[in-house]
Structure 1
Amino acid sequence: MYHSGRLGIMDDGQSTVLHDSPLSQFADQTAEFLRYHVLSAVKLLEFRRIDWELVGRLGQVDRLQQLLGEKFRLVLDCDAPQYYELALEFHSTFQYIHIFNMTLPQFAMATGFYTQQEVAKPVFVSLLRGVMKKQQDHCVMKEDLARFWVTIATSPFSNNMVASDIRDPLYRFVHKILAATLIGRHEDDNKVNHHSLFCLMCMVEGRPANLASIFAWSMTRPKKGGGKSRMFGGPYITWLADNLGVFVDYPVDRMHTGPALSLMELKSFQQAGIITCDTPPAWSSIVEGPQVQPPPGSAADAAMQAAIPS
């Protein structure tokens, strides 16, 4: 027996005939079937990107580009459309670590985050993949995040960390963008979870990260229904589907387009205290804090050592 989906209604009253989509055909009572039932009424997260023109007016382009690096900028600037049926199928079926239909290098290429040449290089294997409870190769632990957090924030490390406690407004800016793109947090983009803090740590300390793994771990977060929940990552799922040739068999004209991509507006950053409400607006001041030595051997440590007069 196969699940035929159900009829949903868009905010504008337009019918979303999900039951007509072959992408929603799941065997009855399977894990995919049950996840689909939870998510089939959940809306897609609005994907909001960096407004580089705004950043330029504030004189922060060079610093932001240096902080992000090539890969984070590629991923956060994703401009692909998103589709309800495609995102719903992906969120209902995706698993990481437990079942392997694709290796991490294959997945990295399929997302478009990395090229075949890049994944073939030895350095790809050494990229940091995420946060683990137990020590594993190419991963960090909660203790590493705790050490990093006290270098950038005014509050102690806990399960209730918020971005408004981060001292540097540029880091808060990036965290807000992460919450609308790669990490995806609709309910509370001020909440700092381990995924977003891991991204910030890799950027600030110059520790190369595997963005395909970050995306995969983010997708494994528990999926909940309800009016406030959102499915995120739609544009990345579109990249993935395009690179895997999905649209050959399932043309996009048979799918329902999700929320259009947008640039995160000035007002959002002003409300978060990242940018001032002055005329003209300006970057908020960095909150002073203790000078903390970066990890030995990190890019930040090398930069600090190079700045010491010989």
Structure 2
Amino acid sequence: MTTIEAAEPVIQLKNLSKTYGDFTAVDRLNLNIYPGEIYGLLGPNGAGKTTTILMMLGLTEPASGEALVCGLDATRNPMQVKRKVGYMPDDVGFYEDRSALDNLVYTARLNRIPEAEARSRALLLLERVGLAEVAHKRTGTFSRGMRQRLGLADVLIKNPQVIILDEPTLGIDPEGVRELLALIRDLSRNEGITVLLSSHHLHQVQQICDRVGLFVQGRLIASGDIDTLSRQLDGAPAYRIELDVLPWNESLETALRGVDGVTDVQLTPGGGLSDSNSPNAELATVVVSGTEDTTAGLTKAVIDAGASLFGVRPLRYGLDDIYHRYFEGGESRERLG
């Protein structure tokens, strides 16, 4: 159990389901999200992410199960939940003919914040999201990236405990994405705000999320940090180690395969020549898979074989590898789906 998970969950989804006629949009979802963490809900469009968010906000009722947010049942107490949660949809709406400052003050007043406090808080948030210089400009002139940053300020105006961001980077240029993700990360770290981020952009999720949930066809098929998800992959080796060796030949390959715990040895494409006596022999890069950490045994095997070892690197599965194994019809998806 991590330090985060030792705390009481701020969001608890218990056997949460939602159906529309014969169609199941969300299927028996169980999920805990803890105070101060950034949790990424990752899945293709139509996976049920937005429906899940709407149930968490009390905006649509589940067919069964319950959503507890900040200790409140979202179905029975939607207004109390909304006071504690800031929600930014994928397309934030503002009054186009009013300034950024006016829009924020309006939101603050709707949340019963006194006018003087609303204005000072709005100005502070505009500074925080990098929009202070355009505070008095009409939002109708804003780019998509500027609108999303204003949207972030808008959900923060009531000092929420939790913010839920539905596809926050959709339609933003790469630099705008980088800036927005940095803002989200800083808010979570510095303010202790819990963030639920829904997205289908896996690289963006990997950049800032503490944990990730893989969502497909209404089901959460895996949840955890990258290392945990790697270990859950069906049929994937638990450990992969990359070696740079010289020379590469059949006897060295045999020696590596003989190390306890090794399950496979693969020469990377173009990774070297098989003739150890060739004057043009190249450095070979080899990936060794195994059921345990075999670094010590591999190092000894290379030296005992009379070869030279130039590099040893543990390889981690990235979210890209994990995503494709689950979503592109791999064995894990068949087993878990």
- Normalised by the length of structure 2, the TM-score is 0.26
Higher helix share: 1
Q: Which has the larger radius of gyration?
A: 2
Higher strand share: 2
Q: Which has the higher contact order (CA 8 A, sep 6+)?
A: 1
